[in-house]
């Protein structure tokens, strides 16, 4: 069965990638771990803060792949070396993805107080309106 899409209109040409982005966002919407905040720092800077308590810098990887900011975390499971009476903090891995607009750049990434902060710079809006000459 073919699924209906809002992008099937003949007036929306070249939006195939946008439809794929919407599909990716809907797939990642149910992910709850790790929690995160998105904060507007100033007119052009956005900060993503991800709660990564218990992770070392070496346990985390941040990459940009096809307009996606991908944060991966994998803790070393040392449970064989320890004897827990109760274990409420799981050593589990995660992948958190954020889709970025064209031109967004990572300005900085740092850890502070159990949070991974990633600062993104938004490009200045450009006026791309122009007159087309008919030949």
- 106-126 confidence digits (pLDDT tens): 999 999 999 999 999 987 766
| pLDDT in the model for residue 67 | 84
| Phi, psi angle pair for 17, to nearest 5° | -65, -35
pTM of the model: 0.71
**Span 43-75, pLDDT tens digits:** 899 999 999 988 999 999 999 998 889 999 998
| pLDDT in the model for residue 116 | 96
How much is the average pLDDT of 23-33?
A: 67
Share the mean pLDDT of the chain: 82
| Phi, psi angle pair for 9, to nearest 5° | -65, 140
How much is the average pLDDT of 83-87?
A: 85
Question: Which CATH code is given to the segment(s) 34-121?
Answer: 2.60.40.790
The residue extents of the domains of the chain are: 34-121
**Two structure tokens written together for 18:** 């946008």
| Phi, psi angle pair for 107, to nearest 5° | -90, -40
Percent of the chain with pLDDT over 90: 41
């Amino acid at each position: 069965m073919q699924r209906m899409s809002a992008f099937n209109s003949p007036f929306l040409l070249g939006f195939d990638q946008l439809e794929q982005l919407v599909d990716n966002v809907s797939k990642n919407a149910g992910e709850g771990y790790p929690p995160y905040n998105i904060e507007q720092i100033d007119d052009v800077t956005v900060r993503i803060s991800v709660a990564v308590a218990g992770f070392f810098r070496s346990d985390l990887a941040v990459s940009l792949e096809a307009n996606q900011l991908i944060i991966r975390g994998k803790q070393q499971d040392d449970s064989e070396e320890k004897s827990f009476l109760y274990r409420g903090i799981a050593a589990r891995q995660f992948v958190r993805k954020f889709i970025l607009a064209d031109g967004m750049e990572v300005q900085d990434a740092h850890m502070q107080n159990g949070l991974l902060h990633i600062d993104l710079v938004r490009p200045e809006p450009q006026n791309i309106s122009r007159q087309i000459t008919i030949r």
